[in-house]
Amino acid sequence: MSGAASAVAATTPALAIRTMIRSWWTKSARSRPAAWARAISSWSPAPARFRSASKAFAVGKVRVSTSVPTAVGVARLPDSVDFAEGAALGLAGAAALGAVDAAGPGAGTTVLVAGATGGVGTQAVQLAATGGAVVIATASTDEERELVTSLGAAETVDYRGDVAAAVRATRPDGVDVVLHFAGDPVGLLPAVRSGGRFVSTLIGSPDQVPGDGLTVVPISAAADAGTLDRIASSHVSGATRVAVQQVYALEQAASALADFGRGTLGKLVVTTD
């Protein structure tokens, strides 16, 4: 059996890595929160949709052993998607898809993506741009600006400054939607036009931000099989891509943690091969 687990797939990525490593090293905790992709040798009972599938990916508490609970939401990983990409896709893709679905950015909609350079943000930029939205993406270096522009962002804004003020400078009425994946939510609210939407993976309830006159939508990634299938299809069609910055063997996990601490531009993946 071969497989890979995304190292930046949980709410506190570094902690998630440590949790996974501890789980693997001690073999005491047989399940951990992670995004993963691996070969499946058999199913019991075998769901009809997986009869011929040998590759799968999922998000959630999955067993490291040969037993995989399909209840967590398992989807077939297309043959053309390798395990590292599959592991990197699940959680970030599900959060991004949930956010973009909730925002419903149609053609011409203006969307500010705060945290555009991260795992969720890079997927959301692509999904919104593919849907015809005009995407303004946060970035702070030339490398980051290049990345988000290559993913479909029409404009960038430096998140080290006042993002909302920068947006209002060119769009006095504000943008239709803010997709919030990083930064202070309260500081970003003025970027949204009156009646617009503020969609966030960082808040648990609308009343956590003073969004008077706005629709505030908290997102909790729902990585069910249908969502994972959509993510895989989008990836295979080329509508979205995932940037895997580096793949580490399990024994290199400490290096993965150190590299993550220094900042990344793309996903770090730890393999269990």
Ligand X SMILES: NC(=O)c1ccc[n+]([C@@H]2O[C@H](COP(=O)([O-])OP(=O)(O)OC[C@H]3O[C@@H](n4cnc5c(N)ncnc54)[C@H](OP(=O)(O)O)[C@@H]3O)[C@@H](O)[C@H]2O)c1
Q: Cα(169)–Cα(139) distance, rounded to whole angstroms? A: 17
With binding defined as CB under 6 A, does residue 181 bind ligand X? yes
Tell me how far, at minimum, the Cβ of 202 lies from ligand X, in Å: 5
Q: What is the SS3 assignment for 243?
A: coil
With binding defined as CB under 6 A, does residue 7 bind ligand X? no
Half-sphere exposure in the Cβ direction for 106 (13 Å, CA): 0
The window from 16-24, 49-57, 64-72, 91-99 that contacts ligand X (CB under 6 A) reads 91-99
Q: Which residues contact 271 (CB under 8 A, 6 or more apart)?
A: 2, 3, 4, 5, 83, 84, 247, 248, 249, 250
With binding defined as CB under 6 A, does residue 138 bind ligand X? yes
Binding-site size for ligand X (CB under 6 A) equals 25
Tell me how far, at minimum, the Cβ of 199 lies from ligand X, in Å: 11
Tell me how far, at minimum, the Cβ of 92 lies from ligand X, in Å: 5
Tell me how far, at minimum, the Cβ of 188 lies from ligand X, in Å: 8
By beta carbon distance, the residue nearest ligand X is: 118
Residues 185-204 that bind ligand X (CB under 6 A): 201-202
Residue type, 215: T
Q: Cα(82)–Cα(76) distance, rounded to whole angstroms? A: 12
Q: Whose Cβ is closer to ligand X: residue 43's or residue 171's?
A: 171
**Binder of ligand X out of 7, 37, 53, 92 (CB under 6 A):** 92
Q: Whose Cβ is closer to ligand X: residue 77's or residue 95's?
A: 95
Tell me how far, at minimum, the Cβ of 176 lies from ligand X, in Å: 19
**Binder of ligand X out of 6, 117, 227, 240 (CB under 6 A):** 117
Tell me how far, at minimum, the Cβ of 266 lies from ligand X, in Å: 9
Q: Which residues contact 134 (CB under 8 A, 6 or more apart)?
A: 108, 109, 110, 111, 154, 155
CB-based burial of residue 71 (10 Å sphere; 0-12 exposed, 13-18 middle, 19+ buried)?
exposed
Burial letters 74-99, b for 16+ CB under 10 A, else e = bbbbbeebbbbbbbbbbbbbbbbbbb
Residue type, 135: V
Q: Cα(14)–Cα(93) distance, rounded to whole angstroms? A: 19
Site residues for ligand X per CB under 6 A:
8, 11, 13, 91-92, 95, 114-115, 117-121, 138, 140, 159, 181-183, 201-202, 219-221, 263
